[in-house]
A = this chain, B = another copy of it.
Amino acid sequence: MKFGLFHSVQLPNPTEQERYYREALEQVLHAERLGYHSVWFTEHHFTRHGIVSATLSLLAYLAALTNTIRLGTAVTVLPFHNPVQLAEQTATVDLLSQGRLDLGVGRGYQWGEFHRMNIPMHEATRRFEESMQILTRAWTSPHPFDHRGEFWSFNDLTIQPKPVQRPHPPVYVAASGPDSVARVIRNRWNLLIGQGETFPQVANQIEHYKNALAQANHPSSPPAQAPPPPSPNAESEANCAPQQIVLARAMHAAPTTQQAQREAEIPFMWFKQTGQEVSAPPGQRLDLLPDEYADYRRRYAPGAAFDYPAMCENVTLFGSPAQITDRIARLQENGIQNIIFFVNFGGIEHQKVLDSLTLFAAEVMPHFTPKPTAPANAK
């Protein structure tokens, strides 16, 4: 079982961007020291919901300060990037980190980001597809190539530098419907499951994915759908590692479940509400969020926007080590082997995040770490 961070920087207090960045980075270094396996940074633009916009630059910074932790994006919004420059940036981070880059990619979902970038949201899927194709070819093609697409054209292309992982850094994609799962399997991408799905939804998604994977790998099976267009990277990826699943989950550990849920409540609700605000077109916004975080805390009314107890039951890992251990054991039974924790939400106090990571590493991790020589040590 692997544990990592699904990490972001938000801006509850508008004047404190430096502090929020510094604390988030310290949390990563703390996590590496405690043996966490990976950190995956979000990409957001233009609002206080997420102020990591140049995600690959931030990972380059972390590449210099870390040695073992893998460095991921979750996710890079492909429609917003020039795919050639994205290929260059990812190759650079892969090189600087000595092969520690994982690239989560998505098509984007926030109305406000598309509007501000002036990119029609209905193009998101087609832009995703075309960019993914260019990105993969740019990483892997041994020869210069031309690209003529709907959104991009390039000539005689070959990037410098090259990624150091072969055939390229692992790609992770969120997918839930049958078509998108089939596409993930077909392209040998890895599966990313977001933090918003409930536990039963997670279990269903994994079961569906595994069934589809088994069917695709069964030589006598008919294809699950009409034959897909050939993937440009199918050949070069034929020998790469088995496909992985990564699950994102909000997590906060404290000595008691009550304390954990109390500490997480207001910060997590700030995060959820800003997320709702930035995802929706103007007419559908709630204007719930004052500029000052202190005002938000003062005015916070439980249940006004989200059913927090239901979230604690069905979605998040806010609890005591024993409660979290129990929940992760059930996820493990569902087939999850890699969970990344969203721990730095909505202005939660830095020290509480450090303590939570420490407590999890001390009290939960050992249950899931193979200890072949002394299994009795596990609680």
Contacts and interface: CB of A to CB of B under 8 A. Distances in A.
B115 A159 contact: no
A182 interface: no
Interface in A44-98: 44-48, 50-54, 56-58, 60-65, 80-82, 84-85, 88-89, 91-93, 95-96
Given A64-B62, A164-B18, A85 B54 contact: yes
Contacts of A63: 61, 64
B57 A89 contact: yes
A323 interface: no
Contacts of A18: 95, 164
Interface string A9-52: 00100000110010000000000000000000000111110111
B159 A57 contact: no
A143 interface: no
Given A21-B95, A56-B57, A96-B21, A161 B88 contact: no
Given A46-B158, A115-B156, A156-B116, A96 B58 contact: yes
Interface in A125-168: 152-162, 164
B11 A89 contact: no
A117 to B, nearest CB: 7
Contacts of A58: 60, 92, 96
A287 to B, nearest CB: 16
B57 A21 contact: no
A118 interface: yes
A57 B117 contact: no
Contacts of A62: 64
Contacts of A155: 115-116, 118
A275 to B, nearest CB: 15
A20 to B, nearest CB: 9
Contacts of A44: 160
A87 to B, nearest CB: 9
26 contacts: A11-B160, A21-B96, A44-B160, A46-B157, A51-B160, A51-B161, A53-B92, A53-B161, A54-B56, A54-B89, A54-B91, A54-B93, A57-B57, A57-B89, A57-B92, A58-B92, A58-B96, A61-B64, A61-B96, A63-B64, A81-B85, A84-B117, A116-B155, A117-B154, A118-B154, A118-B155
Interface of A: 11, 17-18, 21, 44-48, 50-54, 56-58, 60-65, 80-82, 84-85, 88-89, 91-93, 95-96, 115-118, 152-162, 164
Given A18-B95, A21-B95, A53-B88, 8 more contacts: A17-B162, A18-B164, A46-B159, A58-B60, A60-B60, A81-B85, A116-B155, A118-B154
